[in-house]
Structure 1
């Protein structure tokens, strides 16, 4: 997405921009209400997962698709949403995105029971992600266009600073709403969207557009590449890692992404300006964000389901379990910003990756104790690691945008972050299903079932395991029924051991990020040393990264 106007192509509706000045307070409030839905929906569904599975009869992999469909479409269409906002007007695309999002939310809450439930819910979660991809970059552009340079930093600090808090609100709100009905986690978006739209109408936001071609081939390639690669990773739990179809999707998707990069470097009006990756510090920031996000968003899904299955926690208790993570995150985020201000991004990245890797590893080690009391210090430590690195990496990346605008670089980092979260959910979901299946199959074989029967029964149990702990075991005195009841009796520990492998994987991802952080040059960007951002005449003023340092870090 671009904040820069084309001096020959930008134009403002004279009726809006001339006679009526926009109300900045109402504008910021409207945009905050709109984007709040996108952040909350990244985490709120995780808490309700067992209840959704129990009522609709979804499989575990199907539920993972319900979570991942949103993140994947958000990543795949984020850059396109920003470009459409530039071409057709920020306010217009923000309103369209909000309407798409809230209609899809209402339809998710209205999903019928029966055989079509899984496809219905996945489809409309994907539409939700599309709405968010239209809404978020357009809302950012509205704030940039309405606020003058001298006030823009404070406005953007609030705009981005709210995201961490709202991500934390998701599990807590989800736990409370799920006690009433899980459908309310989707319906709650309706009044929020209405408030956002009413405030938008009253704010008198000017209409600003640009005249330039839309990079349709780039949009198709990035969406296809991301979708195909994540589809292969997630379907590996069903197809197996030895399946040709699995690797065809993964490798094919990655090759399409390579083709997308080649196309973007050649085209005159690219969807994403990949030239920003010529800066080594920017590249390291984005790579660290990629590996950190593989753990950051998926942790909400896996930890909440683990709490409800292995710890027999209620949705509200599972939300409090995740709160330990957020306490560490919130405290460390403040320290991370100070480190960035005083010493630059590299120390914050190294510290965050190291603390996060250790925290996730210790958390994983304690999971088989089946005690929430034994785990909270390590959950907080894992959250602190993410808190130390997230804002400094994001801010440092934005500060190094020389030839691209603030909005364009934010588009790059948000696309990478959401794609990484989708990859993490797909990979760790496959790991969880495979290890749970293997543990259950071993129990069934020990009870006398043949290899084939044990594997088939174990896969069915693993797919259903994220339902409530009182799921109905099979009746009868046959060997299969008896062995299955025995296996389901030990499922809490089996599922905990599978989750332990997942959280060790998250620790490994942060360990890779730690190695990558050493390649950061360590140079600092300040208001004096930062590259000047040119202001083309007759166009909206160029957005500057708030403060050029960590105090107003986008997260």
Structure 2
């Protein structure tokens, strides 16, 4: 699980080295799609396929699907590291094999929680699932550091790092893991699988294109293609619900959502995932584009140092997750899930109050509280969700839980990135035009640079490139300016000071929305019923009739 989620973030920090390695300019016309698909493709596939693969695990065996996931994941990592092409063809090779890698990662994600739930009795399940869940969440942030370290040596090492774990894990899994649950003999619900995958896929793909510039607009939400995808995807998901309520052997039993513990736990997970995903991207842009350059770090070194300065966030996960999972086995989940989400939301409010050039100790304390809040919530919530469903549906339930979590990450990029761009679009052009002209840039050139979509400016900082190089490089103006003005424009402080006001305005909108989502998640968590019980039962549903309560593998 750790490696599967490391790969969802390791590429983010490694992008500059990858694009240099395949000789591709990400800011050339039409190339920004490569950049977005490199990030979003993995998230999209893992969001769409985990329910289907979890249900297949119920039918053919969870261990069998898990082991196959190791093989696919490892082979895709090998193919990624031996990209034979350059330019756009090289980027397409990486995107295609990232999709295959995500297929293997989805097999691991969909079945790991179900295997652990089968293997551990209820009194130990919170601790076991806590370790699993925190491994997954911490992988998203440790991937940022690994990406920075490995890409500084060789961009292909970003994919080599998977090989030892993949090879050893594949051999170990085939030798050691055994099926501990009875298989469900049923037919595959083809129409349910197709409508779910196509509907959710259409929505997430539309979000990917919605945050790209379109026809002179800063974003593409008015594009007919985007609107058609969002509406068509919603219609297909409605069709999926109709199909699942009528077929004899559905892909996913929608009746599980009548279980308040299952429904509330997944609703809270989705909202928390949206808020957490937005935090990751906003903090990276904040650090790389403003704070680190103001404190003397080169733009090229900023991606690595951003991962290092975010370590308190990962530490919060690692401290709170297993401990709260263990405590929830003894004292119940509601205090930890709801209390964790309240702490999570309060940390966003604290970030709202920080100045743009913050003292690091305050920033570190707030993001550690954010990580601890997520850790307090995630492990007990996963245990409550998995304990609330019958044993025969654990694979599908685990897949649905992962779908909510992974979809939240994709949705967060669309939601929070759009909010940030809206905030920048209102204030950045005038600040940028005035700032460039004050350093001798001709008015026409400054006006043109200011009219470019803010997404280019944001992605420049995100990739460790001085945005002024991206804005003025194609015009050829920089070499003609006096040496003093050129040094100021390309220095470490000009752009951060220029963008601080507009960016802070957008950041306030983003963190306020994240805090609101966190509080909504806390409300959903508070409304859960008694975990492990169906509304019409007084005994847990996590074992078939006649099965011992504390079955071990």
What band does the TM-score fall into relative to the shorter chain?
A: 0.7 to 0.9
Q: Deviations over 1:257-300 (max 9, x none)?
A: 22212222222212122211112343222111111101324533
Tell me by how many angstroms 1:419 deviates: 0.9
**1:106 aligned to which of 45, 54, 78:** 78
Larger displacement relative to structure 2 (478-487 or 403-412): 478-487
Larger displacement relative to structure 2 (484-493 or 223-232): 484-493
**1:392 aligned to which of 380, 390, 399:** 380
Alignment of 1:79-228 (within 5 A): 79-111=51-83, 112-140=85-113, 147=119, 153=125, 159-160=132-133, 162-203=135-176, 205=178, 210-228=184-202
Kept in 2, the 8 Å contact 1:226–1:253? The answer is yes
Q: Using the alignment, how far apart are the partners of 1:269 and 1:499 within structure 2? A: 51
Tell me by how many angstroms 1:193 deviates: 1.0
Q: Using the alignment, how far apart are the partners of 1:281 and 1:51 within structure 2? A: 45
Tell me by how many angstroms 1:359 deviates: 1.2
Pairing 1:254–2:242 present: no
Q: Deviations over 1:94-136 (max 9, x none)?
A: 3332222222223333344312333333222222211111233
Tell me by how many angstroms 1:254 deviates: 2.1
Who is 1:58 aligned against? Answer: 26
In the superposition, relative to structure 1, how do residues 352 and 534 fare at CA in structure 2: closer, same or farther (>3 Å)? Answer: closer
In the superposition, relative to structure 1, how do residues 217 and 491 fare at CA in structure 2: closer, same or farther (>3 Å)? Answer: farther
Tell me by how many angstroms 1:417 deviates: 0.6
Q: Deviations over 1:49-92 (max 9, x none)?
A: 34335554225664343222112111111111122233344444
Q: Secondary structure at the match of 1:115?
A: helix
Pairing 1:508–2:482 present: no
Pairing 1:531–2:550 present: no
Who is 2:440 aligned against? Answer: none
Q: Using the alignment, how far apart are the partners of 1:509 and 1:361 within structure 2? A: 9
Alignment of 1:262-277 (within 5 A): 262-277=242-257
Pairing 1:441–2:413 present: no
In the superposition, relative to structure 1, how do residues 499 and 178 fare at CA in structure 2: closer, same or farther (>3 Å)? Answer: farther
Who is 2:495 aligned against? Answer: 491
Structure 1: gaps spanning 5 or more residues: 1-34, 547-555
Who is 2:208 aligned against? Answer: 234
Q: Using the alignment, how far apart are the partners of 2:449 and 2:2 within structure 1? A: 48
Who is 2:5 aligned against? Answer: 39
Kept in 2, the 8 Å contact 1:218–1:270? The answer is yes
Alignment of 1:22-33 (within 5 A): none
Q: Using the alignment, how far apart are the partners of 2:238 and 2:109 within structure 1? A: 26
Larger displacement relative to structure 2 (208-217 or 412-421): 208-217
Pairing 1:417–2:405 present: yes
Q: Deviations over 1:347-402 (max 9, x none)?
A: 43443333222212332543621664552122222223322322232222233325
Who is 2:310 aligned against? Answer: 322
Q: Using the alignment, how far apart are the partners of 2:342 and 2:175 within structure 1? A: 48
Q: Deviations over 1:505-546 (max 9, x none)?
A: 255234234235335446434799542445379xxx799899
TM-score, reference length from structure 1: 0.78
TM-score, reference length from structure 2: 0.78
Structure 2: gaps spanning 5 or more residues: 215-219, 438-442
Q: Using the alignment, how far apart are the partners of 1:123 and 1:308 within structure 2? A: 28
In the superposition, relative to structure 1, how do residues 92 and 407 fare at CA in structure 2: closer, same or farther (>3 Å)? Answer: closer
Q: Deviations over 1:486-515 (max 9, x none)?
A: 877643346665477357425523423423
Q: Using the alignment, how far apart are the partners of 1:545 and 1:206 within structure 2? A: 13
Q: Using the alignment, how far apart are the partners of 2:551 and 2:305 within structure 1? A: 39
Alignment of 1:350-369 (within 5 A): 350-366=338-354, 368-369=356-357
Q: Secondary structure at the match of 2:251?
A: coil
Q: Using the alignment, how far apart are the partners of 1:232 and 1:141 within structure 2? A: 31
Alignment of 1:470-489 (within 5 A): 470=466, 472=469, 474=473, 478=477
How big is the alpha-carbon RMSD for the aligned residues of Structure 1 and Structure 2?
3.9
In the superposition, relative to structure 1, how do residues 525 and 285 fare at CA in structure 2: closer, same or farther (>3 Å)? Answer: closer
Pairing 1:75–2:47 present: yes
Q: Secondary structure at the match of 2:462?
A: coil
